């Protein structure tokens, strides 16, 4: 445990002067701006802004952001020729990979918190009332953790193929967009179904009851058959975490300088 904490600290210290991480967090902050403008124009309240930021900002945008940050974290060892130096310290490759994944989790949660704070700030500017602050923040953080799990299959693809950044960026955007479109197109299909192989689909279904209770337009269909329970969602995401976490660590260990 102490070793992992030390590795985490080292991973964060390596992130100095990497502007991309900053830009990613800026994306979290800036995105609510045009949406709050939309909300004001259409007479919608804070809940519309909040729901849109989760749907667009987290369930779609956060995935490619996390995947690109993952590519940077994993590829930096390969590109800077540091793998052999790390191996002879010795640093366990499993520990190194795990620490990078945890860094991504921290980035995801931070992004989610920033996105939420940004919605509150913009809602105040737009004279919108924020209710149930604590529970909404909790759901935002929970969504951030879930989106981290949802990114793991794409990150595994990036680590397994170990190609260049173009491939990684392409993979991550395609994965995010297809997940978004497929989920929206199939959300009415009762659970379980084949499209639930996509984690984003399951996360959306778990969020359905919560979103239904928000002060926004109701879903034009019965969400009962489409939604999934919290237990199902947690078990599903745990399985994905273990399976893809193992693939990532196992594959990273085999990377040769």
Partner 1 sequence: MSDFVIETRGLTKVYGEQTAVNSVNLHVRAGRIYGLLGRNGAGKTTIMKMILGLAPITSGEVDVFGQNIKGREKQIYPRIGAIIENPGFYPNLTGTENLKIFAEMRGIYHHNAVKSALEVVGLPYRDKKLFSKYSLGMKQRLGIANAILHDPELLILDEPTNGLDPIGIAEVRNFIKDLSVERGKTILISSHILSEISLLADDIGIIDHGVLLEESSMEELEKKNRKYILLQVSDASKASLLLEHEFHVKDYAMQDEHTLRLYDTALDVAAINKFLVMQDVAVIGSQLCHDTLEDYFKEITGGVGIA
Partner 2 sequence: MNGMRLIKDEFIKLKRCNILWVGIITLLCSPLLSVLQQESLNAPITDYGYANLVNGVIWNNMGFFLPVTLMLLGGYMINREYTDDTLKEIFTIPISYKKLMLGKIGALLILSILYSCYSFLLATGISAIFYPGGLNGMAVIKALIQICGMGLCICISILPFVCWCGAAKNRFWVGTVLVFVYGFLGIPLAGHGFQDYYPISAGLSIIQYSGDTGSTTTDFRPEIVGIVLLSTLFLSLLILIIQNKSK
- Residue 181 binds partner 2, judged by CB under 8 A: yes
115 makes contact, choosing from partner 2, partner 1, none, with CB < 5 to 8 Å by partner type, with none
Nearer to partner 1, 99 or 201 (CB): 99
Return d(Cα 150, Cα 226) in angstroms, integer.
19
Return d(Cα 73, Cα 80) in angstroms, integer.
11
Query: How long is the chain?
Result: 257
Burial class (CB within 10 angstroms; exposed 0-12, middle 13-18, buried 19+) of 254: exposed
- Residue 177 binds partner 2, judged by CB under 8 A: yes
68 makes contact, choosing from partner 1, partner 2, none, with CB < 5 to 8 Å by partner type, with partner 2
Nearer to partner 2, 42 or 81 (CB): 42
Nearer to partner 2, 125 or 170 (CB): 170
Return d(Cα 129, Cα 47) in angstroms, integer.
9
Residues that bind partner 1 (CB under 8 A): 6, 9-10, 13-14, 16-18, 76, 80-91, 257
Return d(Cα 159, Cα 224) in angstroms, integer.
38
Return d(Cα 175, Cα 232) in angstroms, integer.
23
- For residue 18, give the nearest of 88, 92, 69 by alpha carbon: 69
90 makes contact, choosing from partner 1, partner 2, none, with CB < 5 to 8 Å by partner type, with partner 1
- Tell me the C-alpha to C-alpha distance, in Å, between residue 99 and each of 92, 94, 104, 231: 11, 8, 9, 27
Identify the residue whose tokens are 């955007």: 173
86 makes contact, choosing from partner 1, partner 2, none, with CB < 5 to 8 Å by partner type, with partner 1
43 makes contact, choosing from partner 2, partner 1, none, with CB < 5 to 8 Å by partner type, with none
Do the beta carbons of residue 46 and residue 128 sit within 8 Å?
Answer: yes
- Nearest distance from residue 66's CB to partner 1, in Å? 20
| 221: CB partners within 8 A, 6+ apart | 188
Do the beta carbons of residue 111 and residue 54 sit within 8 Å?
Answer: no
Q: Between residue 13 and residue 72, which ones bind partner 2 under the rule CB under 8 A?
A: 19-20, 23-24, 27, 30-31, 34-35, 38, 41-42, 52, 56, 60-61, 64-65, 68
Nearer to partner 1, 76 or 189 (CB): 76
Size of site (CB under 8 A) for partner 2: 37
188 makes contact, choosing from partner 2, partner 1, none, with CB < 5 to 8 Å by partner type, with partner 2
Using CB under 8 A as the criterion, which residues of the chain lie in contact with partner 2 when the complex forms? Answer: 19-20, 23-24, 27, 30-31, 34-35, 38, 41-42, 52, 56, 60-61, 64-65, 68, 165-166, 169-170, 173-174, 177-178, 180-182, 184-186, 188-189, 195, 221
């Amino acid at each position: 445990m102490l070793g992992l904490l030390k590795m985490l600290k080292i991973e964060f210290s390596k992130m100095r002067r990497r502007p991309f991480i900053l830009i990613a967090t800026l994306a979290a902050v800036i995105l609510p701006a045009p949406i709050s403008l939309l909300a004001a124009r259409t007479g919608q309240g804070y809940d519309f802004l909040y729901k849109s930021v989760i749907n667009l900002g987290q369930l779609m945008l956060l995935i490619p952001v996390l995947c690109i940050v993952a590519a940077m974290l994993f590829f930096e060892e390969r590109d800077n020729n540091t793998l052999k130096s790390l191996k002879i310290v010795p640093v366990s490759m499993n520990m190194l990979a795990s620490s990078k994944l945890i860094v991504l989790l921290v980035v995801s949660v931070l992004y989610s918190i920033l996105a939420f704070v940004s919605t509150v700030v913009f809602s105040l500017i737009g004279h919108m009332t924020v209710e149930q602050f604590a529970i909404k923040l909790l759901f935002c953080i929970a969504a951030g953790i879930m989106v981290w799990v949802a990114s793991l299959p794409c990150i595994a693809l990036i680590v397994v193929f170990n190609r260049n950044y173009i491939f990684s960026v392409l993979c991550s955007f395609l994965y995010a967009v297809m997940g978004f479109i497929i989920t929206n197109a199939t959300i009415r299909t009762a659970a379980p179904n084949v499209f639930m192989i996509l984690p984003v689909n399951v996360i959306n279904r778990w969020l359905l009851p919560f979103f239904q209770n928000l002060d926004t337009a109701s879903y034009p269909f019965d969400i009962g058959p489409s939604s999934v329970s919290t237990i199902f969602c947690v078990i599903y995401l745990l399985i994905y975490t273990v399976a893809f976490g193992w693939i990532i660590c196992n594959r990273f260990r085999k990377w040769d300088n």
